[in-house]
């Protein structure tokens, strides 16, 4: 039963991916290696790189939930200039994490699929209700994020971010921290 | 059955009746001329399925601002519409296959870090020969009558066509004659992609009345694309190729011997020179025959005689004598090239179309005559018939008929000397202007200037061969001067019969450009046929039984 949603998504993607071919009478005459600039809004799930032992003795991994907003300019396609803002928060320490980053990426469209990879750098701010493992007061620092993912175009203007995996190096802790995030969401493409 | 189920059943029946009733009403509402046109169109598609015409597509992208060329693209197809009415096209020239593995790997590596150039589906352009290559069904469209008008001498009804479905269906206008034949359609396969990056082009497609049928003959393409404006032409010819050669093979030949001459007194033996000459002639005949069968070479026609006269005009003052008389033939392809096969000079249609005057034509013929005067060369491997037994689709690339760079250089020098001694001596300024104009497109119009099998008129350094020897005659090129016609647009001068592939001179009076913008040298310009009634065409016996010829395009 767990596979049902996966199959549903796969069938939907297949439908959207081939819909144009099925309905077309004539073959397309022109093709472009081009992707429009886009903005994306995503849900983000983040795993911190540390766990806590709860009072019951079980190990509890720190998980954050949040969202991100990102703009990718593709005027120099296949290269892209990206700015990103992400916020997430979660338990058990009531942590809040905000990252503001900018950087460069590379993407390549294949039919409706657009895989991409990015390296971003910027600043991160964190705060929590704990002062032992995290910081109760807000702390800022330099952050570096590398990510890769795949977008899927549903219409010329709208699409979905199938997934994005992100590795964030954050300046917190004596040796820094590495957080892993999974994102998924929607995209809007700008056509001039 | 409970009341609830009965209500549902009534609803379903009512919905079905509404749906089918709507369809029926819609079908009843279609104009009878459109219904006839659809039947004729599908019949035409079935009919041309018997033939395998050649389809040549040439595209130029020019800058929006000043019309200067950016790039060009070329395909030559031979199409077969099979029973399923789907295009089975074979490319004569496949640019991708000409690259070595190393070049392909290098270009892939380069393209991985930058945007790939715009790509074209050559088969997608071939589909423009009909508004629906899979069979036209009026139910898929909303077709509204606009008005009646004349296209040349043919009275036609004009309809606006909107597709019911979205992508890939024709949207535009139909011109339908009184017998329900589609003679012209303008529009596009409904735009896909975005406004800035369209995936379909707009086009104007014309039919040509030939051999009792309205057959697809030419299409003009125009579309704004990110790199500029795309202009293109699709030309179709060679419908009668299969039939012609089938007839030849199945006709029993009766030879009249009434006028036979007895050469028995000359002896039965031949000398070595004659044997060698016959061997070369055999190779020449094999090549010419193979090119004709594949539809690349036009049959002998009236225009060849004009070219042959230019050969005479050059030969006599230069005291050129040849073992066999020299003749000219036209290759039906657009890339600008010329070459020799034995004692035959081959000139491409694209070359003749762009040459603005007789002296410019003479310059190209002189170039090839110079090759011939040096040595009548033909690769005698083609004397073996098996060496020309290859597929039609390979005919254009299997003959390597070009001369060496050194030969071309020597021939260019000799050609200019030849011209200086001929009746064209005082018109060499015009010749120079043609090659000056040609040199402006070097590097941009790669496909137009790239020969498929013969000699390029441009040296490896990018300078036209003859221009280097015309330094005494180098008037300034004046693009803005409408009086100075350095080169003509593609499609000028010649008319090709789509059925027989015969070439004749365009008999329309040539109008002088009013401004420099009207000149369009080496450019693709719109197609326009003046359709007219020619009842005489019924008398030539070439029509199909039961078909009434009504009009012909000119």
Report DSSP letters for A46-100, one per residue: EEEEEEEE-TTS-EEEEEEEEEEEEEEE-TTTTEEEEEEEEEEEETTTTEEEEEE
Residue A20 lies in a domain: no
Residue B136 lies in a domain: yes
Distance from CA of B454 to the nearest CA of A (A): 30
Residues B178, B303 within the same domain? no
Greater model confidence, B415 or B289: B415
Does B102 score more than 90 pLDDT?
Answer: no
Find the mean pLDDT for residues B137-156.
91
By CB atoms closer than 10 A (0-12, 13-18, 19+), residue A135 is middle
Distance from CA of A154 to the nearest CA of B (A): 12
B495 Cβ contact list (under 8 Å, min separation 6):
B503, B504, B505, B506, B554
Residue of chain A nearest B223, judged by CA positions:
A30
Q: For B63-101, what is each residue's pLDDT tens digit?
A: 998 888 999 999 888 887 664 445 556 666 655 555 677
Residue A117's closest CA among A88, A173, A78?
Answer: A78
Residues B282, B230 within the same domain? no
Residues B221, B117 within the same domain? yes
**Using a CB-CB distance cutoff of 8 angstroms, which residues of chain A are in contact with residue B124?**
26-30
Closest partner residue to A29 (CB to CB) among B117, B197, B201 is: B201
Residue B15 lies in a domain: no
Greater model confidence, B41 or B374: B41
Q: Which of A19, A20, A25 to mutate to test the interface with B (most CBs of B within 10 A)?
A: A25
Least confidently predicted of A87-101, B302-316, B354-368, B428-442 = A87-101
Per-residue pLDDT, B427:
93
b/e map B302-315, b = 16+ CB within 10 Å: ebbeebbebbebbb
Numbered residues of chain B with Cβ closer than 8 Å to any chain A Cβ: 113-121, 123-125, 127, 132-134, 165-170, 189, 192-201, 223, 225-226, 230
Q: Please tell me the pTM assigned to this model.
A: 0.81
Per-residue pLDDT, B527:
86
**Using a CB-CB distance cutoff of 8 angstroms, which residues of chain A are in contact with residue B226?**
32, 34
Q: Do A30 and B123 touch (CB under 8 A)?
A: no
The residue behind tokens 């060329």 is B69
Does B265 score more than 70 pLDDT?
Answer: no
Q: Do B166 and A23 touch (CB under 8 A)?
A: yes
Highest mean pLDDT among A116-120, B109-113, B266-270: A116-120
- Tally of domains in chain A: 1
Per-residue pLDDT, B24:
47
| Contact predicate A147/A101, CB 8 Å | no
Greater model confidence, B554 or A37: A37
Least confidently predicted of B80-89, B294-303, B366-375 = B80-89
Q: Do A31 and B127 touch (CB under 8 A)?
A: no
The rounded mean pLDDT for chain B is: 82
Residue A109 lies in a domain: yes
Q: Do B132 and A191 touch (CB under 8 A)?
A: no
Per-residue pLDDT, B124:
86
Residue A8 lies in a domain: no
Residue A27 lies in a domain: no
Least confidently predicted of A31-35, B173-177, B494-498, B527-531 = B527-531
Q: Do B192 and A31 touch (CB under 8 A)?
A: no
Tokens of B506: 């365009």
Q: Which domain holds residue B215?
A: 23-242
Does B548 score more than 60 pLDDT?
Answer: no
Q: Which of B120, B199, B221 to mutate to test the interface with A (most CBs of A within 10 A)?
A: B199
Greater model confidence, B312 or B256: B312
Q: Which domain holds residue A144?
A: 33-189
Residue A22 lies in a domain: no
Residues B71, B203 within the same domain? yes
Per-residue pLDDT, B199:
87
- CATH number reported for the structural domain that contains residue A49 in this entry: 2.40.160.20
**Using a CB-CB distance cutoff of 8 angstroms, which residues of chain B are in contact with residue A104?**
none
Find the mean pLDDT for residues B409-419.
94
Residue A10 lies in a domain: no
- Tally of domains in chain B: 2
Q: Do A26 and B120 touch (CB under 8 A)?
A: no
Share of chain B above pLDDT 90, in %: 40
Per-residue pLDDT, B393:
58
Per-residue pLDDT, A136:
67
Closest partner residue to A30 (CB to CB) among B113, B166, B225 is: B225
Q: E strands of chain A, at which residues?
A: 30-31, 38-53, 59-73, 79-90, 95-107, 113-127, 139-153, 158-170, 177-189
Find the mean pLDDT for residues B177-187.
93
Which residues in chain A land under pLDDT 50?
A: 1, 14-23
Per-residue pLDDT, A150:
97
Per-residue pLDDT, B183:
94
Whole-angstrom distance between the N-terminal and C-terminal Cα of chain A? 44
Greater model confidence, B545 or B394: B394
Q: Do B120 and A34 touch (CB under 8 A)?
A: no
Find the mean pLDDT for residues B23-50.
79
- CATH number reported for the structural domain that contains residue B156 in this entry: 2.50.20
Q: Which of B110, B140, B200, B221 to mutate to test the interface with A (most CBs of A within 10 A)?
A: B200
Query: What does the alpha-carbon distance between residue B301 and residue A87 come to, in Å, rounded to a whole number?
Result: 79
Q: ipTM value, please give it.
A: 0.74
Q: Do A28 and B199 touch (CB under 8 A)?
A: yes
**Using a CB-CB distance cutoff of 8 angstroms, which residues of chain B are in contact with residue A28?**
121, 124, 168, 192-193, 199-200
Find the mean pLDDT for residues B277-283.
81
């Amino acid at each position: 039963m767990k596979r049902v949603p996966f199959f549903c998504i796969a069938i939907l993607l297949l439908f959207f991916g081939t819909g144009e071919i099925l309905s077309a009478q004539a073959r397309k005459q022109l093709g472009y290696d081009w992707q429009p600039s886009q903005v994306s809004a995503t849900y983000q799930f983040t795993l911190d790189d540390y766990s806590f032992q709860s009072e019951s003795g079980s190990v509890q991994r720190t998980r954050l939930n949040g969202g991100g907003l990102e703009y990718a300019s593709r005027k120099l396609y296949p290269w892209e200039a990206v700015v990103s803002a992400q916020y997430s928060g979660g338990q058990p320490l009531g942590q809040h994490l905000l990252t503001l980053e900018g950087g460069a990426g590379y993407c390549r469209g294949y039919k409706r699929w657009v895989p991409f990879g990015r390296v971003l750098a910027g600043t991160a701010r964190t705060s929590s209700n704990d002062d032992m493992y995290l910081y109760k007061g807000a702390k800022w620092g330099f952050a570096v994020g590398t990510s890769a993912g795949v977008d899927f175009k549903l219409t010329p203007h709208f699409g979905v971010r199938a997934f994005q995996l992100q590795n964030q190096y954050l300046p917190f802790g004596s040796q820094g921290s590495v957080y892993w995030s999974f994102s998924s969401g929607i995209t809007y493409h700008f056509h001039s | 059955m409970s009341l609830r189920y009965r209500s549902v059943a009534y609803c379903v029946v009512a919905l079905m009746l509404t749906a089918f009733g709507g369809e029926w009403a819609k079908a009843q509402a279609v104009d009878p001329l459109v219904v006839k046109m659809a039947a004729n169109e599908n019949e035409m598609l079935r009919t041309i399925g018997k033939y395998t015409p050649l389809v040549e597509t040439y595209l130029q992208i020019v800058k929006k601002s000043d019309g200067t060329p950016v790039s060009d693209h070329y395909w030559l197809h031979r199409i077969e519409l099979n029973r399923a009415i789907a295009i089975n096209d074979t490319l004569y020239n496949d640019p991708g296959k000409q690259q070595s593995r190393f070049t392909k790997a290098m270009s892939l590596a380069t393209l991985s870090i930058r945007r790939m150039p715009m790509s074209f589906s050559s088969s997608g352009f071939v589909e423009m020969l009909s508004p629906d290559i899979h069979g036209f069904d009026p139910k898929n469209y909303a077709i509204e009558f606009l008005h009646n008008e004349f296209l040349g001498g043919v009275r036609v009804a004009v309809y606006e066509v909107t597709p019911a479905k979205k992508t890939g269906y024709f949207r535009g206008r139909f011109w339908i004659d009184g017998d329900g034949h589609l003679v012209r359609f303008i529009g596009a396969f409904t735009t896909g992609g975005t406004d800035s990056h369209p995936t379909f082009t707009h086009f104007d497609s014309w039919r040509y009345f030939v051999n009792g049928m309205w057959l697809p003959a030419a299409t003009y393409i125009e579309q704004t694309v990110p790199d500029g404006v795309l202009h293109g032409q699709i030309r179709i010819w060679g419908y009668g190729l299969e039939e012609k050669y089938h007839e030849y093979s199945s006709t029993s030949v009766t030879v009249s011997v009434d006028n036979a001459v007895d050469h028995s007194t000359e002896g039965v033996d031949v000398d070595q020179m004659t044997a060698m000459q016959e061997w070369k002639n055999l190779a020449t005949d094999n090549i010419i025959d193979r090119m004709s069968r594949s539809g690349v070479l036009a049959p002998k026609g009236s225009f060849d005689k004009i070219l042959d006269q230019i050969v005479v005009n050059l030969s006599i003052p230069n005291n050129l004598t040849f073992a066999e008389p020299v003749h000219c033939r036209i290759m039906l392809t657009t890339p600008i090239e010329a070459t020799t096969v034995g004692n035959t000079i081959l000139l491409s249609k694209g070359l003749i179309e762009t040459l603005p005057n007789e002296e410019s034509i003479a310059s190209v013929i002189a170039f090839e005559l110079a090759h011939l005067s040096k040595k009548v060369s033909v690769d005698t491997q083609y004397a073996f018939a098996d060496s020309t037994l290859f597929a039609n689709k390979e005919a254009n690339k299997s003959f390597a008929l070009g001369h060496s760079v050194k030969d071309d250089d020597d021939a260019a020098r000799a050609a200019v000397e030849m011209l200086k001694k001929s009746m064209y001596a005082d018109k060499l300024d015009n010749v120079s202007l043609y090659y000056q104009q040609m040199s402006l497109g070097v590097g941009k119009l790669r496909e137009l200037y790239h020969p498929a099998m013969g000699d390029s008129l441009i040296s490896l350094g990018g300078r036209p061969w003859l221009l280097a020897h015309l330094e005494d005659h180098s008037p300034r090129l004046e693009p803005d001067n409408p009086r100075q016609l350095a080169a003509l647009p593609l499609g000028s001068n010649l008319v090709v019969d789509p059925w027989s592939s015969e070439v004749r001179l365009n008999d329309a009076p040539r109008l002088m450009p009013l401004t420099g913008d009207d000149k369009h040298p080496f450019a693709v310009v719109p197609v326009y046929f003046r359709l007219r009634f020619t009842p005489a065409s019924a008398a030539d016996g070439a029509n199909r039984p039961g078909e009434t010829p009504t009009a012909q395009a000119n």
